[in-house]
Amino acid sequence: MRKSLTAVLILLMLVSCGKENEISTAGDISESAETAAPQEITETDASGINETEPEPGETDHETEEAEEIIIVLGDPSAESAETHPPETEPADTNSPETEPADTDDGIIRMLVPTEYSQVRDALTQSQWYGMSYEEAVEWDMPETMAVIAEPEAAGPVPESVMDEPAFDTSFAPAGEAPGKVYTAEEAYSKTNTQLADIDEGDIVKTDGKFIYVLKDMAELVILSAEGADTAVLSRTKLTENAEYCGVAPVGGGKSRNVSVDQTAQELYLHDDRAAVIYSENKWTNGALERKTCADLYDVSDPAEPIYVTTLGQDGYYSTSRMIDGTLWLITSYDLSVDDIAEPLDTESYIPGLFVKESQTLIDPGCIVYPEEIESQSYTVITAMDVKSGSRMESKAVLGIRADILYMNSASVYLADQIYYNEESEPRAEGIYKVVDHKNGTRTKLMRLDITDGIRTAAYAELPGAMLNQFSMDEYNGHLRVVVTVNERSHTTFTDESWGFVNTRYNPDNRANALYILDPDLNITGKIEDLAPDESVKSVRFTGNTGYFVTFRQVDPLFTVDLTDPSEPVIMSELKIPGFSQYLHPWADGLLLGLGQDADGNTGWTTGLKLSMFNIGNPHDVTEQHKLKLDYGWSAALYNHKAVLVSESRNLIGFPADNGYAVCGYDPDSGFWQKAFIEGVNGWDGKSRGLFVGDEVYIVMQKGCTVLDMNDFSVLTAVIY
């Protein structure tokens, strides 16, 4: 099998456990495909395969193999994707001595395990077993996109893992409103998010009555939001951080060196529940275990929060979202495959799920993996009901890391950005053996349908790397993606007779591109080779229009018409000194930019800058007003949740140097600064601005300053 196809295999996975699923297609595949449960193989009308049901207890666990699922790659004539039972005498395709067969028929295979040992065997027989990550992955960009056939799970999730018997949710169509521009009717601000109906975790939240603060990433402080009478209501310790200590194992024996380090990451609110996400690193005799958990608290009485439960999973924290009380937790679980020594040591290669201190491994039917495994990481996705404190569903896909995630109420897009290093075949030039080398980044992209559980929907690969989650946006069923393509190359000349190597480095090949993809992630339209030698600094999509900024010495703000997904058109390119690192819709016809001013000749940055772009005429976008600020740095340049934006309240707030700046904007006169609040440890960027009623609250790690929104006089300062 070609390497391009086997690379695609890695991501064509993630099945829905214990539920009947349909094949997701681009319109060419319409029939269903099923896999059998571990103890039973049922007949399937889709494939027409005659399968028999084994007698109870007949399964031979030593010889049983994972179910085989056939996937068709980009073949418009394909009638169906089929599921087959394992062959009686399967070919040894994983043997290191056996080169995989080169198949050009567009057919590849992925496996759904019925036992954990099948995952272990696949890992230890993989081509990269024992190699470094860079040595193992050799990406060859495929010309075709993948149509994914999603089978029924190999088995239900055990009751010990699933607190609810089924995943029951019905989300409305994906919201199209970008960001959060507050209206006069809203009494308080919320976290600044990419989409208005998808909440994102942050270190400060408010429900309009109380303010919840993650202090020093270890404590939950709850304040009353009462203007001049604001006060601390409660303080709750969240995490444990222990020094190395000797722990005697059960039954005696030599003590183990154990250390646990927990760090609170982000906070969510829903009704009378608070969810605190924290990361835990545990060292046992030098071995590191990472997991991510959500502690749930009943905050119906903010003066006395009550711990409810803990739900967690293996892996370090990637990101999370919340939709109508469902918390989606995403982690990356990296394997140490060389440590898999014992056949029954499943905890070393299967992700674990946690309820408080109790661990259960994710069910094998909730894991899928390719015939040839070329990645050492899982992405683990869990949906949790915050109100009931129960886990709704968990899935794991082996072969992708969620470096960047975009989510709306219908889909989750996972972007795994892969570094590649390729070499040409050696050739002779005079006395030299010459080899060309090139390296760069490609993005593996997977779409998951979450309208009814978690279903794999589509997969693709794109050149280049994304900047952040704003580089992706879905509108009317099409995904728009902006990337920077930066490929480096050099050539080596080896004189083997004298034993020395000369190297010639070539200029970097850097440019930017916009891609539009349909629901099956087939490219429908694109613009490539934009702004050579520059990099993307910010992206924002609003309906049928896209805006993105690139920079080297000046700031080209591109405005793109996306009305026709097959033919995106650049409408204007505004070049000004400096660049915007965050873009936000302000009022009709205006786009706010927060970034840095820069010297137009050298590109050296000279301080923070606010820009208001007039986008009323998309073919002639102008910078209507700007304000250069006497601050050099802001966390808001890299974290949109640190920005407070309200056109109706005329508020633009963000951390700046060692404090917090509040500005306003007038369409005639431009920007002006309303206030600057200095604070202890303000340089850490962990400060947030919010409003409740007619007061503005500047929340920092050591205290909260309350301002009157009318004249920005200080009403009170609360230290905690």
**pLDDT tens digits, 438-464:** 999 999 898 989 998 888 788 888 999
Tokens read off for 203: 């270190």
- State the DSSP H helix or E strand holding residue 4, giving kind and residue range, or none if neither: helix 3-9
3-class SS shares of the chain: helix, strand, coil, % to 5? 5, 50, 45
**Where does 90-203 show beta strands of DSSP type E?**
107-112, 146-147
For 386-531, list the strands marked E by DSSP. 390-398, 404-407, 411-423, 427-429, 432-449, 455-463, 472-475, 478-495, 500-505, 509-517, 523-530
Check residue 357 and report its DSSP letter: T
- Alpha helices (H) along 111-240: 116-124, 133-136
Q: Which two tokens stand for residue 182?
A: 């507050």
- The single residue listed with the structure tokens 């495909």 is 33
- Residue 287 class from Cβ within 10 Å (0-12 exposed, 13-18 middle, 19+ buried)? exposed
pLDDT less than 70: residues of the chain: 1-110, 126-185, 241-256, 337-344, 370-372, 374, 553-555, 680-682
Residue 490's pLDDT is 96
CA distances from 419 to 133, 139, 422, 573, 631 (A): 10, 9, 10, 31, 35
Which residues, 6+ apart, have CB-to-CB distance to 409 below 8 Å? 171, 172, 173, 174, 175, 197, 198, 323, 450
Tokens 């969620």 — which residue? 402
Distance of CA 104 to the CA centre of its chain: 33
| DSSP one-letter code for 89 | S
In this structure, what token pair is assigned to residue 329? 């937790």
pLDDT digits (tens, 9 = 90+) for 201-221: 999 999 999 999 999 999 999
E strands in 73-178: 83-84, 107-112, 146-147
List CB contacts of 60: < 8 A, sequence separation 6 or more.
none
pLDDT at 292: 97
Q: What per-residue confidence (pLDDT) applies to 436?
A: 96
| Tally of helices (H runs) and strands (E runs) in the chain | 3, 46
3-class SS at 341?
Answer: coil
Q: Are 444 and 405 in contact (CB under 8 A)?
A: no
Q: Is 85 exposed, middle or buried (0-12, 13-18, 19+ CB in 10 A)?
A: middle
> Could you tell me which residues are beta bridge partners of residue 491?
436, 504
Say how many Å lie between the first and final Cα of the chain, rounded: 62
